[in-house]
Chain A
Amino acid sequence: DQQVKQNSPSLSVQEGRISILNCDYTNSMFDYFLWYKKYPAEGPTFLISISSIKDKNEDGRFTVFLNKSAKHLSLHIVPSQPGDSAVYFCASGGYGGATNKLIFGTGTLLAVQP
């Protein structure tokens, strides 16, 4: 039973264009959502988060949108750069007050072509 789903295993985008990565979740009780980025042979690194009480959070080139009615969130990267090429994981947390446990999606491999 996958509570956090990333249905696109990969995405290819031209440098300078917008990258949109999508994530769906099933449990409406999650308190917050996060995006992590992972390069090969490295651990995931935190990118951006959003509380369930908000619908948008922006940090530089990265914006996360949350649509609670659709149980959907997306990460927008604009403009995309070759250094953004990595696997992006969506994660959710805070269910039942458990701030310690994150539930990750399966990841989307983003390739930004120069």
Chain B
Amino acid sequence: GAGVSQTPSNKVTEKGKYVELRCDPISGHTALYWYRQSLGQGPEFLIYFQGTGAADDSGLPNDRFFAVRPEGSVSTLKIQRTERGDSAVYLCASSLGTSGIGGELFFGEGSRLTVL
């Protein structure tokens, strides 16, 4: 498809379980971002990749969260020992780069995570 693809669209899990969320960015986009949107809030930055490397992971809330992008395209956000507070919509976005005014991110539809 032409847009950013995220799977699964919905994930329900139990507290303490491990979860993986996948993002397939727009072809040719070198920059990839993960954001998290909790109920009633705006998207909150988690991590940014430029190519294969995590250029900025300052938004990851703790060491239970980890993300990879091994070949510079698809990315996986991994959450260990999930907690109820991790329940949110996890948004992935991509962009051509970060030059100039930047900011025009193309978002996927998100993965809604519910931790029971």
Contacts and interface: CB of A to CB of B under 8 A. Distances in A.
Note whether A and B form a binding pair. yes
Interface of A: 4, 6, 31-32, 34, 41-46, 49, 51, 89, 91, 93-94, 98-107
Nearest to B102: A99
Interface in B97-116: 98-110
Contacts of B41: 106
B42 interface: yes
Nearest to A92: B103
Nearest to A50: B101
Contacts of A51: 101
Nearest to A4: B42
A105 B45 contact: no
Nearest to B40: A106
A99 B107 contact: no
A100 B101 contact: no
A101 B108 CA distance: 17
B79 interface: no
Contact of B48 (A6, A91, A100): A100
B56 A98 contact: yes
A43 B91 contact: yes
Nearest to B50: A100
A41 B89 CA distance: 10
A100 B33 contact: yes
